[in-house]
Structure 1
Amino acid sequence: MTQSLIVALVQAAAEERFDVAAFGARMRELVHRVPSAALWVLPEFHLEPVSTHHNPESGARAIDDVAVAELAALARELGVWLVPGSIYERGDDGAIHNTALVFSPSGERVATYRKMFPWRPLEQTVPGDRFEVFEMPGYGRVGISICYDIWFPEHTRHLAWLGADLVLNLVQTATSDREQELAIVRGNAIMNQVWIASVNAAAPTGRGRSLVVDPNGSVRASSPDASEEILTAVVDFAATAQTRALGTAGVSRPWSQFRGDDAPIPLPLYGGRIEPSTWHPRSKENS
């Protein structure tokens, strides 16, 4: 059974309005152009007009909103895994979150992730408190991060520890530090021996330069600029386990660092510690 699939990162500017019908027409065209892609990923806030960022309350919607149901129906119609970026979600307590959604080819919402690290002080959403990893049957596990999350190494490390073979990083940044983010994406992939696909918005709402990095840290696909494009790459989920078993470049195996008789390492920053017995990433068998 193959563990490889084609992922399509849609590097596009944010929509001018939250219009699922228009988005659906656009996605039908894109899927027709690249019918081999099984997983389609769009940037952070792709469906949210830029004007909404100044007043998230005006565009926030409940997770059971009719528009969310329409996105699920679109994934089912197209028969693809669909990550339509993130939306402003109004929680049951009224708090506004930056929330990514994932839909399976059957139209099921299989993952809902609230951004843990809003870009402060400008982003005013309430942080989430739960990491999100979902199963793609026949392939492996996928974790979700949103934009600034990637700057915090603890985030990708926890997704990898939870068994993620691939991390999807949804971005909408037009700032000059996209150059640094490219290094951060590669660094997280290398340190955690995991695939990372980082999709940024195109101009004018983003600086583009989306990329896909494999568990060895090699860039498998990249966009050179901020123009609109579909960036595709073949992701071999089995490469994650292979890299961890054989070592990065056949040398380094950080997930096999500890022995059973090693003493715990205190982590005073977190008020916790590294327990050698729990250091290994969770497997499909024991999670």
Structure 2
Amino acid sequence: MTRLLPLALAQVPAQGDIAAFADTLRAHVRIHPEIELWVFPELHLTTPGGDEQPHQLAVTVGDDRLRALSELAAELKIWLVPGSIYEADGAGGVYNTALVFGPDGRQVAAYRKVFPWRPLEVSRPGTEFVVFDIPGRGRVGLSICYDSWFPELTRHLAWMGAELVLCLVQTDTSDRQQEVVITQANAIVNQCWVASVNSAAPTARGRSLLVDPEGRIRVASPSSETTLLTDVVDFDAVTTTRRYGTAAVSRPWSQFTTGDRAIELPLYAGTLDPARWTPATPTQEETA
């Protein structure tokens, strides 16, 4: 069975009004009823304005705003990634947390940004990598903005079985040009799909894109203008690329063979163990 997932990457300015967000999304879904996964940028619903501070916008588990998002996903029967939010940690701090809601309204994943953009970003770093399964399609990993600059994070998501990595972004600086290249590189070296969804002007610089497992840009925005990028992700392309190689040549996930010795990794105070190199494969039950 071919595993196809129609998705939409919403390059839009930050929008703090959830009621307005819901109305906008309903309108989009009416125009694109075939889209199953809708993805919005980093801090889409909790971007500080004026003198607001992150802790003033932070949401706790069970907050009415989160319940409204859950109900919206169920109403529209979609997979919804409404961007990341500031999550209150209960001790006066906040995390930058990406949320995922399923078409039944359940919150199926929450990922706390591991690499905040320091020194300016004040959120606390998360400590866990997060993937989730879309039954009948494939496994998806979560990443937020500056995370993409650390190859260990995307590599680990791919090792956990992620066939598509969603990177939620709010980059308003000139290095967005470099992030476009990094997005392609992360897709190439991990042989998986990578989507980088940046906010539109005036919030950020746009240039969102979706890259396939061989590094080809499937769809992209050339500017910071508000736009909706749509495409169909073929999860089986990951399997094909890893089996036959990028450009029918390179197969990094098949690098090691029986008898290869472990390689010391002083940076991590650990080792690269050939016996643990092969990425996880979602079971038939998980994707059924």
TM-score range, shorter chain: over 0.9
Counterpart position of 2:206: 208
19-28 or 131-140, which deviates more = 19-28
Pairwise CA distance, 1:32? 1.1
Q: Does 1:235 align with 2:212?
A: no
Counterpart position of 1:255: 253
Distance 1:218 1:149 in 2: 21
Counterpart position of 1:8: 8
Pairwise CA distance, 1:51? 1.6
Give yes or no for contact 1:264–1:273 (8 Å, CA) kept in 2: yes
Pairwise CA distance, 1:53? 8.3
Counterpart position of 1:24: 22
Distance 1:37 1:226 in 2: 23
Pairwise CA distance, 1:6? 1.1
Structure 1: segments with no counterpart, 5+ residues: none
Structure 2: segments with no counterpart, 5+ residues: none
**2:189 aligns to what SS in structure 1?**
helix
Counterpart position of 1:85: 83
Counterpart position of 2:41: 43
Give yes or no for contact 1:2–1:138 (8 Å, CA) kept in 2: no
How many residues matched? Answer: 285
Distance 2:26 2:179 in 1: 31
Q: Does 1:139 align with 2:116?
A: no
TM-score, length-scaled by structure 1: 0.96
Distance 2:185 2:238 in 1: 15
Distance 2:280 2:165 in 1: 15
47-56 or 85-94, which deviates more = 47-56
Give yes or no for contact 2:48–2:54 (8 Å, CA) kept in 1: no
- Identity of matched residues, %: 55
Counterpart position of 1:153: 151
Distance 2:133 2:39 in 1: 16
Pairwise CA distance, 1:54? 5.2
Counterpart position of 1:221: 219
Distance 1:284 1:203 in 2: 38
Distance 1:284 1:11, change over 3 A: same
Give yes or no for contact 1:13–1:201 (8 Å, CA) kept in 2: yes
Distance 2:51 2:236 in 1: 39
Distance 1:53 1:114, change over 3 A: farther
Distance 2:184 2:247 in 1: 14
Give yes or no for contact 1:111–1:134 (8 Å, CA) kept in 2: yes
CA offsets 1:215-250 (integer angstroms, 9 cap, x no match): 000000001101001101110011111111110110
Counterpart position of 2:181: 183
CA offsets 1:252-281 (integer angstroms, 9 cap, x no match): 000010112101000000001110001000
Give yes or no for contact 1:258–1:276 (8 Å, CA) kept in 2: yes
Aligned CA RMSD, in angstroms, stands at 1.4
Give yes or no for contact 1:14–1:50 (8 Å, CA) kept in 2: no
Counterpart position of 1:164: 162
Distance 1:211 1:85 in 2: 16
**2:7 aligns to what SS in structure 1?**
strand
Distance 1:224 1:243 in 2: 27
87-96 or 199-208, which deviates more = 87-96
Distance 2:281 2:31 in 1: 36
Distance 1:143 1:180 in 2: 21
Counterpart position of 2:56: 58
Distance 1:156 1:53 in 2: 34
Pairwise CA distance, 1:61? 1.4
Counterpart position of 2:70: 72
**1:51 aligns to what SS in structure 2?**
coil
Residue type of the partner of 2:229? L
1:125 maps to which of 123, 126, 145: 123
